[in-house]
Amino acid sequence: MKESPPTAPRSPLRINYKHLQYFHAVVREGSVTAAARRLHVAPQTVSAQVRSLERSLGRPLFERVGRRLVLTPDGEVALDYADSIFALGQELRGVMAGRVEPRRLVLRLGVTDSVPKLLMASVLDPLFERHRDRLELSCSEAGAAELLGRLAAHQLDAVLAEMPVPPHLARTLRSRLLLESGLSFMASRRLKASLRAAFPGCLAELPLLNWPPDTTLGSAIDQWLADQGLQPRVFARCDDSALMKVLAQRGLGVIGVPSSVEEDVARQFHLVVLGRVPQLRQPLYLIRPAGRRSHPLLDEIG
């Protein structure tokens, strides 16, 4: 085995796993000779395979100390990965033979702030049921711009958002409409008991909890109210649907929620329905990378 460091490869890194197997054997057996004996090959073959691995990685993996071969720092890193790779191979054999349970499926999902979490849960419920014992869900909540940036950088598998992919990202990301729900206006029982007019006129009597005007749903509600000739006092504008439900629960205003989850909202936050507006739509989109293989569970969502 050469003492001088191998030159870095000019072509993209490609690992031959047979070379990795010979390297792994040398480390585990303690010498080239012992590794050759276990692999039933000549010591020269083992040395050649390890040198080929070093050339492909562009780093020396061993250094000679006296008559012993000792791992370099890069060799220690390579050994750690080799251990993981061969452990996965053994695990795969066990899974195929029915001796080992399949490993957990990690799904990295981003959810925009304004997506009602009950709506998100209703969409993901079938996935939870089918993969309850294997699924490991990693959820991140943030603004759309931040989450789409992380998705484009492969830090997330998908994003749930209330709007489709912006045109300037359409070449790298694609979106699918999962559902569209009408809107139900809800309030506390105390506020409902104070109303004099019927729906929708009663909305003028109540403080409103709404999304910011630059969001799809916030602007749609503002426009619908204007079309009805209603000008309720806006108590709060929030991009967090959970916060608005808490404020509504405390009797601080009326909130619009997706009609498909109004029963859950009523049960959890003790709110009652004032009226429903089917033409006000709360959409939910699944956004995923375009042009590369996506997470296998994404096709089961929706």
225-238, pLDDT tens digit by residue? 999 999 999 999 99
Domain of residue 130 covers 105-179+286-300
Contacts of 67 (CB under 8 A, 6+ apart): none
**CA distances for 37 relative to 16, 34, 216, angstroms:** 21, 5, 69
Give the angle 265-243-196 at the CA atoms, nearest 5°. Answer: 60
User: Is residue 12 scored above 50 in pLDDT?
Assistant: no
The answer on 68 and 54 residing in a single domain is yes
Give yes or no for residue 213 having a pLDDT over 80: yes
Residue 2 has pLDDT above 50, yes or no: no
Across the range 10-14, mean pLDDT stands at 55
The encoded tokens of residue 33 equal: 């000779």
pLDDT at residue number 293: 67
pLDDT, residue 292, reads 60
Assess whether 165 and 250 both reside in one domain: no
What is the average pLDDT across 58-72?
Answer: 89
Report, as an integer, the average pLDDT of 108-117: 90
Provide the pLDDT for residue 102: 64
Verify that 193 and 53 share a domain, yes or no. Answer: no
Position 9 in a domain? no
**Domain-located, residue 5:** no
Task: Identify the pLDDT of residue 268.
Answer: 95
* Separation between Cα atoms, residue 192 and residue 231, nearest integer Å: 18
Question: Whole-angstrom Cα distance, residue 279 to residue 200?
Answer: 14
Domain shared by 186 and 265, yes or no: yes
Decide if 6 is inside a domain. Answer: no
- The whole-number average pLDDT for the span 252-259 is 96
Calculate mean pLDDT across residues 200-208. 95
166 domain residue, yes or no:
yes
Same-domain pairing of 168 and 296: yes
Q: Specify the 3-state DSSP secondary structure of 104.
A: coil
**90 & 213 share domain:** no
List, for residues 157-184, the tens digit of each pLDDT value. 999 999 999 999 888 899 999 999 999 9
Instruction: Kindly report, residue by residue over 131-165, the tens digit of the pLDDT.
Output: 887 788 899 999 899 999 999 888 899 999 999 99
CATH number (domain holding residue 32): 1.10.10.10
**Of 53, 77, 96, which marks where a domain is finished?**
96
Any domain includes 3? no
Which stretch of 83-97, 113-127, 131-145, 173-187 has the lowest confidence by average pLDDT? Answer: 83-97
Q: Residue 10: pLDDT band by 50, 70, 90 thresholds?
A: very low
Mean pLDDT, the chain, whole residue set = 89
Mean pLDDT comparison of 84-98, 105-119, 273-287, highest-scoring range: 273-287
Query: Does 33 or 91 have the greater pLDDT score?
Result: 33
Rg for the chain, CA atoms, rounded: 29
What is the pTM assigned to this prediction? 0.64
Domains: count for the chain: 3
Asked whether residue 250 falls in the same domain as residue 204, the answer is yes
| Same domain, yes or no: 92 and 231 | no
Of the pLDDT bands very low, low, confident and very high (cuts 50, 70, 90), residue 4 is very low
Asked if 5 and 60 count as a contact pair (C-beta separation under 8 A), the reply is yes
Please check whether residues 231 and 199 belong to one and the same domain: yes
Q: How far apart are CA 86 and CA 57, in angstroms?
A: 18
246 and 119: one domain? no
Same domain as 82, residue 131: no
At residue 52 the predicted structure's pLDDT band, cuts being 50, 70 and 90, is very high
- Evaluate whether residue 119 is within a structural domain: yes
- Are the C-beta atoms of 100 and 91 separated by less than 8 Å? yes
The upper half-sphere exposure of residue 111, i.e. CA atoms within 13 Å in the direction of its Cβ, equals 20
Whether 12 is in a domain gets the answer: no
- The crossing angle, in degrees rounded to 10, of helices 117-130 and 262-269 is 110
Residue 142 sits in the same domain as residue 155: yes
What per-residue confidence (pLDDT) applies to 13?
60
In the predicted model, what is the mean pLDDT of residues 187-195?
95
Q: Which residues are CB-neighbours of 198 under 8 A, at least 6 positions away?
A: none
End-of-domain residue from the set 47, 73, 96: 96
Q: Is residue 210 part of a domain?
A: yes
Structure confidence at residue 98 as a pLDDT band (50, 70, 90): confident
CATH code, domain with 254? 3.40.190.10
- Structure confidence at residue 9 as a pLDDT band (50, 70, 90): very low
Alpha helices by DSSP H, listed for 185-238, are: 189-193, 216-227
